Amino acid sequence: MFKKVLSLAVLCLALATAALGASVPDAPISGAWTLTFTASGESHAVRANLEAQGTNVTGHIYRTKLKGTFEKDRLEIIMANDDGVEQGRLSGVLRDGKLTGSGTLWGLTLDSWAAVRPAAAPAAPQTHTYAPTPASYQRYLSMAFPAALRVFPGDTVRTTLIDEDGRDASGKSITVGGFPVVGPFYVENAMAGDLLAVRFTKVRINRETAESGHELVGPAADPNYVRHSKAAKNFDANWKLNLASGTASLAKPSVALTSLSLPVQPMVGIVGVAPPGRQAMASRSVGDNYGGHLDYNEIREGVTVYLPVFHEGARLFLGDGHAAQGDGQLSGEGLETSLDVEFTVNVIPQKSFPVPYAENASEMMFIGVGGSIELALQRATTGLAVYLEREYGLNSTESATVLGVAAQYRIAKVAVSPDEQTTVVAKIQKSVLEQLGKPKQSKTTP
C-alpha cells in the first residue's frame, strides 16, 4: 500500500508547476515545511506549505489541498484532491519548531508523520573542499549511505576522483578497485520529483600515468573477427600523460604506435544519484534513469548533467576518472586515471525527467542506458522527443519531424559482459532548438 503512496506523491511532483511560498515570520505555523510520512517502515518526504489566518489553516502539498485548524499548538488537517475528494487526515502538535503526529493517507494508517522547516541556506553560495579518505569510498549507489558532505543549491564542491582500480594522484592504491565512487553529496532541500543540475566547472588530470584496455570488446565486432584475432604478446597498455601539452602517448609503444599522440580530454565516467527505493546499484557496471556508470566522453569540464531525484537530498555520487575515451569504449576501458574535479549543484523543483541528460555550449544530449544498443537507443530517443514536446510545445508529429532531420547519435559505451549496460546518446544542436520558439512559461534548465 505504501508503494501507492509513493507513486502518487511522485505523480504530484511531476504535475505540479507552482513554487512554494516563503515562510511568514509572524505566524508560527505559516510558510514552507518539509513533511515526512512514515508507513510500513518506509518514509517519504514532500514539500508542504501552510497559511494561518486566526485559527484557520489552508495550504497545499503540491496539488493536494490542505484545510484545517491550528489552536493551542495543535494542528488538524484534511487533505483533498482537485475534485474535493478527501485523501487523508493529519493530527499533530507543534513543539520546538517541529510538527509531529499521526493520521491517514489514501486509506493507509500512518506510523507517524513529522514536519520541519526547510534548511536555511547561507546568504551566499559556499565552496567546499571534500578530501575522501580510503575508508570513505563506496562501490554502490544507494540512499542507505550517510552523507559524505551536505551542500545547498548553488554551492560548489572541489574533490578528487581516483581511477577504477583505486589509485590516487600519486598512482598509489589507496583502496581496493571495483570503480570506487565519492559521495553521497547530500543537496539540502532536494526532493523526489526534482531535477538535480550538476555543472562541472573543472575536470583535470592530476597525474602523469594512465592505463587502457587493449583487446576489442566482443559485442562491438563481427564474431568471426573476434574469434580469429590474436592478442599481441607482451603488449604494454600503460600511458604517459603530459600535463603541460595535454597529450597522451604509450609509455612503451610497439613500433607501429611509436608516433601515436592523442589529446587529453578528461571526463567523468560515473555520475548518478541514489536510485529509487531501497536499491543498491553497483558502480562498476550499472546505470539507468538515475545516472550511474554512463561512460559518456562528453561529461567533462563545462558540461551540465541533469539527473532526476528519487530521494530527499538527491545523494550524488561521482567516480571513474578518464584522461580520454573513444566512442563505445571499444577496448573495455578509456585512459583510466585520477582527476581533480570541481562542480556546482542546483535544484530545479518538480521537473523530474525520464532519462539523464546533459548540455554544453552547443548541444543538448539525452542519455539512454539499457541491456542492448536497441534498448539504450529507444530510451535516448524517447528522452529527446519528450524534451521537445515538454519544453517547446511540439506535438508528436512535429517532434518526429525535427528528430528525423536533426537528431544525432553517439554510442557512448558498449556493454562488455551480461551484467553491464550499453549507453547511447541522442543529441540535438541548440541552433536547431533556437528556431522552435520555446514557450515563455517553460523552464526545465536554470
pLDDT digits over 374-417, tens only? 999 999 999 999 999 999 999 999 999 999 999 999 999 998 77
Helix (H) or strand (E) holding 185: strand 181-187
Q: Are 181 and 318 in contact (CB under 8 A)?
A: yes
CATH number of 2-116: 2.40.128.120
What are the CA-CA distances from residue 209 to residues 168, 170, 240, 330, 340 (Å)? 11, 9, 5, 20, 14
- As a 3-state breakdown, the chain gives helix, strand, coil percent values, each rounded to 5, of 15, 40, 45
Fold agreement (2-116, 127-208+263-433): no
Of the candidate ranges 25-29, 87-91, 359-363, the one whose mean pLDDT is the lowest: 25-29
> Where does the pLDDT of residue 445 fall: very low under 50, low under 70, confident under 90, or very high at 90 and above?
very low
The CATH number assigned to the domain with range 127-208+263-433 reads 2.60.120.580
Q: Please state the domain extents for the chain.
A: 2-116, 127-208+263-433
Q: How many helices (H) and strands (E) does the chain have?
A: 5, 30
Query: Which of 398, 216, 85, 87 is CA-nearest to residue 77?
Result: 87
Please report how the helices 373-392 and 396-406 are oriented relative to each other, as an axis angle in degrees rounded to 10.
Answer: 120
pTM (2 decimals)?
Answer: 0.89
pLDDT in tens, 332-356: 899 999 999 999 999 999 999 999 9
